Structure 1
Amino acid sequence: MDVTHEHIVWWLESVGGNRAGQLAHRTSIRAFYGWAFASGRVYENPSQERSLRSSARPLAPAWEAEIRSFRTYLRGIGRSEATVSLYRERLRRFAADHASAGPFEITLDDLVEWMARATWSAEYRRGNRATLRVFYQWAVDSGRTPDSPARRLPVVKAGQVRPRPVQDDEYESALRRARDSDRLALRLAAEVGLRRAEVATVHSRDITGTPGEWTLLVHGKGDKERLLPLPESIARSLRLLPEGYAFPGQINGHVSPRYLGKRISALLPTGVTMHALRHRFATRAHEHAGDILLVQQMLGHASPATTQRYVLVSDARLRSLVEAVSQ
């Protein structure tokens, strides 16, 4: 009889023993079947976890409880709701893919194997790595486990990302088809350079100034804040809204960034996301200012190297530069 993943799970449950013994058994089985698969002795590795993401089944109670506690911790240290939701989503995805193991039975091999998925972009892989490291360091600090399996996760290099700004005709078409609230979200992303989570959390109390000199306090990534000047027409639209969040919803009063992103992306061509509007802002801002550090400040990036990945230099500008130098 061929050994299946279910057989392995059943056997591990039946042998009992303490946590260290369970981990030793599991590690040995994984090593054996990893070798057998790599050497062609079996056509499928039964020790690998089966993804449950397509299933409606809830997570194991141990995972649910720890993710809930971790979420409380993140809120307790002042992380934004956007950050809390993102971490929770990533952890739930990992937990669903490791249903047979508890959160503190996970090994470095489990993490590396999960991170090695060929279909992931470098940025997506980097985000998952960061989440796992924060989660397991919290587990160590709170006495839930003596060591973090994520501590030795290899560093993921940033990928080569080509800027993908929304084209002017695509943007204008989206504005024409959008309802009022979506039109405002489009403009905040494309004309002020906000991320979807920053758009989702725009609040009436964050708008200050006087006519012609309106300013928006932006609640950025990593709980960093920055002040941005607002175009008069956008400020006027925001100030006409009722007090509170500009985009009301169920996440502590505001819309979910993910839901907002899907809604705005639906107005753009297939395959183009809301984030491409931010690329549009970066590209146009650089064309006008010619100052990457100024664009970096506007976007709220920690490094100009990140900002450069948002700015698309047109062929016409490159050709014009070459012609000017050659004269």
Structure 2
Amino acid sequence: MHSNSIPITQPWSLAIEGFITHLKASGAPATTLRARREQLQHLARRAPADPWSLTADELLAYFADQTWQTETRRGRRSCFSMFWKWGKRVHGAKNIAKHLPKVKPAAPSPMPVPPPVYEAAMRRADQRTKLILRMAHDAGMRRGEIAVSASWDLVQDFVGWSLVVHGKGGKTRMVPLTPRLAFELLALGEGYFFEGAIDGHLSPRRISELAADVLDAPWTIHKLRHRFATDLLDAVGGDLLTVQEACGWAKADTARHYIPVPLDKIRQGIYRAREVEPLRAVEATA
């Protein structure tokens, strides 16, 4: 039986919906509500007991059994921590999530999609998927931001078209669009750009799946954001604040996870620091 077909018990369903209602009352955006519900449902289908009788050891065993990437693991731990803190306040339950080990942030590993990989993916993609790839590559949008984008987010000024992007934590930012991307989005007409069954639009997961179908492994739609950030930083002469605003980063040092430092720049810096002329350096190794 597929794991998603395993029924969720009533105690779990009631607990999850109660927690989601709490988050909604606090002003959490729809993307956060959907993510938290999916994270808890994943646990609910695999947990050996109902939420308020589950033990710390059982939760730890579930946590250890998953093959998540580091940032996914950090996100799940955060979700479970919030859920059981809420359960302690509302239901008097023990906060078993506090026994989960802390997960260190992943080391920066920027991987901008190489241009030939992007071009090959565009040749394979249908029109819908091409537009999805272009929104990540040309506007630096996350999969969740692409999923909820709609015609009413398009804004025109005296220079061109921009898009109101609905980012993490309910934050929005304005991203200028290339003329070609603006034309393609305008041609879609009224409504969500990618219609689907979830609140009228495709889910972020489906956006990723469509991109993965045409991108060579190990490249992903998120790595197209790495490409966007890397190219933009070079185009604006190293102005990191501009890149931060365009990408919707809360902190500028997030750039370390997106933008690699080219080896040739490191080499040039070392040569300048040690007063070495490039030609002489080559001759010395010949």
**TM-score scaled by structure 1?**
0.77
Shift of 1:149: 2.2
1:52-85 alpha-carbon deviations (Å, 9 max, x no partner): 8747321222112222333343344433332222
Contact 1:164–1:312 under 8 Å retained in 2: yes
> Residue 134 of structure 1 corresponds to which residue in structure 2?
82
> Residue 280 of structure 2 corresponds to which residue in structure 1?
none
> Residue 200 of structure 1 corresponds to which residue in structure 2?
147
Most deviating of 114-123 and 296-305: 114-123
Q: For 2:66 and 2:94, how far apart are their aligned partners in 1?
A: 28
Q: For 1:226 and 1:313, how far apart are their aligned partners in 2?
A: 26
Q: Describe the shift of the 1:128–1:318 C-alpha distance in structure 2 as closer, same or farther (beyond 3 A).
A: same
Q: What amino acid maps onto 1:267 in structure 2?
A: V
Unaligned runs of 5+ in 1: 1-51
Q: Describe the shift of the 1:53–1:87 C-alpha distance in structure 2 as closer, same or farther (beyond 3 A).
A: farther
Unaligned runs of 5+ in 2: 276-286
Contact 1:292–1:308 under 8 Å retained in 2: no
Contact 1:190–1:281 under 8 Å retained in 2: yes
Q: Describe the shift of the 1:241–1:55 C-alpha distance in structure 2 as closer, same or farther (beyond 3 A).
A: closer
Contact 1:194–1:278 under 8 Å retained in 2: yes
Contact 2:70–2:106 under 8 Å retained in 1: yes
> Residue 322 of structure 1 corresponds to which residue in structure 2?
270
In the TM superposition, 1:115-154 aligns within 5 A as: 115-117=63-65, 119-141=67-89, 143-151=90-98, 153-154=100-101
Identify which of 41, 44, 51 aligns with 1:95: 44
Sequence identity, in percent? 36
> Residue 187 of structure 1 corresponds to which residue in structure 2?
134
The answer to which structure has the higher helix fraction is: 2
Q: For 2:273 and 2:162, how far apart are their aligned partners in 1?
A: 40
Q: For 2:92 and 2:55, how far apart are their aligned partners in 1?
A: 12
| Bigger radius of gyration among the two | 1
1:65 is aligned to 2:23: no
1:171 is aligned to 2:106: no
Shift of 1:291: 2.6
1:305 is aligned to 2:247: no
Contact 1:167–1:280 under 8 Å retained in 2: yes
Contact 1:53–1:97 under 8 Å retained in 2: no
Q: Describe the shift of the 1:130–1:293 C-alpha distance in structure 2 as closer, same or farther (beyond 3 A).
A: same
> Residue 223 of structure 2 corresponds to which residue in structure 1?
276
Q: Secondary structure at the match of 2:96?
A: coil
Contact 2:52–2:94 under 8 Å retained in 1: no
1:210-242 alpha-carbon deviations (Å, 9 max, x no partner): 363322111101111112222222112111212
Q: Secondary structure at the match of 2:217?
A: coil
> Residue 159 of structure 1 corresponds to which residue in structure 2?
106
Contact 1:238–1:246 under 8 Å retained in 2: yes
Q: What amino acid maps onto 2:153 in structure 1?
A: D
Q: What amino acid maps onto 1:133 in structure 2?
A: S
Q: Secondary structure at the match of 2:197?
A: strand
Q: Describe the shift of the 1:53–1:161 C-alpha distance in structure 2 as closer, same or farther (beyond 3 A).
A: farther
1:220 is aligned to 2:167: yes
Q: What value does the CA root-mean-square deviation take over the aligned residues?
A: 2.2
Shift of 1:170: 0.8
Most deviating of 69-78 and 260-269: 69-78
Q: What amino acid maps onto 1:269 in structure 2?
A: D
Q: For 2:5 and 2:143, how far apart are their aligned partners in 1?
A: 27
Most deviating of 308-317 and 253-262: 308-317
Q: Secondary structure at the match of 1:249?
A: strand
Q: Secondary structure at the match of 1:150?
A: helix
Q: What amino acid maps onto 1:295 in structure 2?
A: V
In the TM superposition, 1:241-260 aligns within 5 A as: 241-260=188-207
1:294 is aligned to 2:242: yes
Q: For 1:167 and 1:197, how far apart are their aligned partners in 2?
A: 23
Q: What amino acid maps onto 2:161 in structure 1?
A: W
Q: Which has the higher contact order (CA 8 A, sep 6+)?
A: 2
> Residue 27 of structure 2 corresponds to which residue in structure 1?
78
